[in-house]
Amino acid sequence: MTAPANQLRATPPAGHALNVEKIRAEFPILHQQVHGKPLVYLDNAATSQKPRDVIDAISRYYERDNANIHRGVHALSERATEAYEAARCAAQNFLGAALPSEIIFVRGTTEAINLVAQTFGRTRVGAGDEVIVTTMEHHSNIVPWQMLCGEKGAKLRVAPISDRGELDLEEFQKLLGPKTRLVALTHVSNALGTINPIREIVRMAHDRNVPVLVDGAQAVPHLKVDVRDLGCDFYAFSGHKVYGPTGIGVLYGKSDLLAAMPPYQGGGDMISSVTFEKTTYNKVPFKFEAGTPDVAGAIGLGAAFAYVNGLGIEKIGAHEHALLAHATEAVSAIPGVRLIGTAPQKAGVLSFLIDDIHPHDIGTILDQEGIAIRTGHHCSEPVMHRFGIPATARASFALYNTFQEVDALVRGIAKVREVFA
Ligand code: C6P
């Protein structure tokens, strides 16, 4: 867990230093020039780069073990099935889930949330009921609930955030009521970097018997997540933000909830028997994994968990926090810079504006310097509306970033100001 901002430190505490030089050697993509400059990749909240271990695990699978799973009696199918189910156990351990069957492989956070909305949501939410989200949600944690509420005649309630980008817990508490059927909120905001106090929010919701879904897309790369310690009912994340491949992600759900939920999609592997008169469904988690899954993706994700575990998520978080502290101090000292998202508890993300320069121009000029950041509304338009801005420039950090790269960003911002002077 990161330290509060008033304890921000620009170097990780003793014993927490990562060997970043060695780590960088394990990421082939980082060693290239962009527009004649060394690549400085600071768009990790959009997707992180992949270590050699992950790339090799996927290649090895296709070179040696590729087969369909849960279906064949031949050796390759057995090996592929074993590797896929081992990845499920790795995900279980990564999240601290009680059982492997509480882990459902999905395409990513977006699919995980849609799955819950279309199964749990459709059976539990009715006319006049309410679903609570927050102002700082990614569109993936707004639109599926809007669709559900529209279909059912239910109401979407929105917990507000402060000028620093913190959730207003008093207002959140007031929204919880007898009609609330679910709270769905992000663990870490992708646009602001705010870390939400999930344990406390879960306690408040559970006091009223309201289940909680947590969007963990921006949390798992930076924080130790233990779903049983958090107490949440669902937890969703994408593999590609935590050094795994694209196209694979995880939905964690408490086993009693998953068992009671209807399937999401129909097809192969999610059934135990089919006749034209009646189909009976497979047990959890297979009930939710219709069709041939992304076997290679799951195996790659398993390799990503091993990679992160090998380094230690606490060390990773401490390193990134030191980078964020250094970047926050250096960037906010530049005249004309306004930071968007200044909560005391933050992870991984620095969103900013420079004078009245459009963020897309900032991004384009930085790209010419070899620096990759994201600009725009970050699929979080309500956050932009809250701050009365159309977009931000966002630098986001990962375990392989260096203090020199932060300094390159600071020089790049100075260049942007020169261009627009
Ligand atoms: N945010 C970003 O640049 P998918 O696309 O399903 O892997 O993840 C969606 C998602 C859900 N929740 C949060 C908090 C997220 O940050 C994201 C993805 C990326 O901020 C791409 S828009």
Kindly give the number of the ligand 1 atom that is closest to the alpha carbon of 43. 3
Q: Whose CA is nearest to atom 17 of ligand 1?
A: 217
Asked whether residue 305 falls in the same domain as residue 317, the answer is no
Kindly give the number of the ligand 1 atom that is closest to the alpha carbon of 379. 22
Q: Token match 């008033």: residue?
A: 6
Pairing assessment for the beta strands 234-238 and 249-253 based on DSSP bridges: antiparallel
Q: How far apart are CA 309 and CA 225, in angstroms?
A: 12
Q: In 195-289, where do the E strands start and end?
A: 212-215, 234-238, 249-253, 271-274, 279-281
Residue 183's CATH number: 3.40.640.10
Ligand 1 centroid to residue 107 C-alpha, Å: 12
Q: pLDDT tens across 114-147, in order?
A: 999 999 999 999 999 999 999 999 999 999 999 9
Q: Among 309, 334, 350, which residue terminates a domain?
A: 309
Can you read off the two tokens belonging to residue 305? 């968990």
Please, what is the average pLDDT of the chain?
96
Ligand 1 centroid to residue 76 C-alpha, Å: 34
What pLDDT, on the 0 to 100 scale, is given for residue 4?
Answer: 38
What pLDDT, on the 0 to 100 scale, is given for residue 3?
Answer: 38
Q: How far apart are CA 1 and CA 196, in angstroms?
A: 12
The number of folded domains in the chain is 2
Q: pLDDT tens across 41-66, in order?
A: 999 999 999 999 999 999 999 999 99
Contacts of 102 (CB under 8 A, 6+ apart): 92, 252, 253, 254, 255, 258, 284, 285
Residue 293 lies in a domain: yes
Which residue out of 218, 237, 346, 350 has the highest number of ligand 1 atoms within 8 Å of its CB and is therefore the one to mutate?
Answer: 218
Q: Quote the Cα angle for 258-263-268, to 5°.
A: 120
Can you read off the two tokens belonging to residue 85? 């189910």
Ligand 1 centroid to residue 420 C-alpha, Å: 31
Residue 37 lies in a domain: no
Nearest alpha-carbon partner for 134 in 181, 177, 179, 189: 189
Pairing assessment for the beta strands 130-134 and 180-186 based on DSSP bridges: parallel
1: confidence class by pLDDT, cuts 50, 70, 90: very low
Residue 90 lies in a domain: yes
Asked whether residue 139 falls in the same domain as residue 157, the answer is yes
What are residue 215's DSSP bridge partners?
A: 186, 236
Asked whether residue 23 falls in the same domain as residue 148, the answer is no
In the chain, what percentage of residues exceed pLDDT 70?
Answer: 96
Nearest alpha-carbon partner for 116 in 101, 134, 104, 129: 104
First and final C-alpha spacing in the chain: 40
Asked whether residue 169 falls in the same domain as residue 299, the answer is yes
Q: Whose CA is nearest to atom 2 of ligand 1?
A: 46
Q: Among 257, 281, 309, which residue terminates a domain?
A: 309
Catalytic-residue membership of 149: no
Asked whether residue 138 falls in the same domain as residue 214, the answer is yes
Q: How far apart are CA 153 and CA 305, in angstroms?
A: 41
Kindly give the number of the ligand 1 atom that is closest to the alpha carbon of 191. 20
Q: pLDDT tens across 234-284, in order?
A: 999 999 999 999 999 999 999 999 999 999 999 999 999 999 999 999 999
Kindly give the number of the ligand 1 atom that is closest to the alpha carbon of 187. 14
Q: How far apart are CA 192 and CA 172, in angstroms?
A: 19
Q: Whose CA is nearest to atom 5 of ligand 1?
A: 110
Q: Among 293, 309, 325, which residue terminates a domain?
A: 309
Confirm if 326 and 8 have CB atoms less than 8 A apart.
no
Residue 296 lies in a domain: yes
Instruction: Identify the residues whose C-beta falls under 6 Å from ligand 1.
Output: 45-46, 108-110, 138, 140-141, 186, 190, 215, 217-218, 238, 374, 378-379
Confirm if 162 and 192 have CB atoms less than 8 A apart.
no
Ligand 1 centroid to residue 378 C-alpha, Å: 8
> What range defines the domain where residue 393 resides?
5-31+312-419
Ligand 1 centroid to residue 347 C-alpha, Å: 15
Asked whether residue 98 falls in the same domain as residue 188, the answer is yes
C-alpha distances (whole Å) from 282 to each of 97, 164, 263, 267 are 21, 47, 9, 11
Instruction: Please state the pTM of the whole predicted model.
Output: 0.96
Residue 394's CATH number: 3.90.1150.10
10: confidence class by pLDDT, cuts 50, 70, 90: low
Q: pLDDT tens across 320-339, in order?
A: 999 999 999 999 999 999 99
Q: pLDDT tens across 356-399, in order?
A: 999 999 999 999 999 999 999 999 999 999 999 999 999 999 99
Question: Residue range 81-108: average pLDDT?
Answer: 98
What pLDDT, on the 0 to 100 scale, is given for residue 75?
Answer: 97
Q: How far apart are CA 300 and CA 290, in angstroms?
A: 20
Q: Whose CA is nearest to atom 16 of ligand 1?
A: 190
Q: How far apart are CA 122 and CA 152, in angstroms?
A: 8
What pLDDT, on the 0 to 100 scale, is given for residue 191?
Answer: 98
Instruction: Write down the catalytic residue from 89, 149, 232, 379.
Output: 379
Q: pLDDT tens across 187-212, in order?
A: 999 999 999 999 999 999 999 999 99
Which residue out of 105, 110, 186, 189 has the highest number of ligand 1 atoms within 8 Å of its CB and is therefore the one to mutate?
Answer: 110
What pLDDT, on the 0 to 100 scale, is given for residue 72?
Answer: 82
Which residue out of 47, 140, 145 has the highest number of ligand 1 atoms within 8 Å of its CB and is therefore the one to mutate?
Answer: 140
- Helices (H) then strands (E): counts for the chain: 15, 17
Ligand 1 centroid to residue 138 C-alpha, Å: 7
**Lowest mean per-residue pLDDT among 69-78, 104-113, 190-199, 249-258:** 69-78
Ligand 1 centroid to residue 221 C-alpha, Å: 12
Is the confidence at residue 14, as pLDDT, over 60? no
Q: Whose CA is nearest to atom 19 of ligand 1?
A: 46
C-alpha distances (whole Å) from 357 to each of 337, 387, 392, 406 are 10, 16, 10, 20
Nearest alpha-carbon partner for 97 in 234, 283, 241: 234
Look at the chain and count its residues: 421
The sign of the CA dihedral 186, 192, 193, 199 is: negative
Kindly give the number of the ligand 1 atom that is closest to the alpha carbon of 246. 7
Kindly give the number of the ligand 1 atom that is closest to the alpha carbon of 46. 3
Q: How far apart are CA 363 and CA 394, in angstroms?
A: 9
71: confidence class by pLDDT, cuts 50, 70, 90: confident
Question: Residue range 304-315: average pLDDT?
Answer: 98
Confirm if 135 and 386 have CB atoms less than 8 A apart.
yes
Can you read off the two tokens belonging to residue 151? 């279909």
Pairing assessment for the beta strands 130-134 and 155-159 based on DSSP bridges: parallel
What pLDDT, on the 0 to 100 scale, is given for residue 2?
Answer: 36
Ligand 1 centroid to residue 258 C-alpha, Å: 24
Contacts of 49 (CB under 8 A, 6+ apart): 27, 29, 30, 41, 243, 398, 400
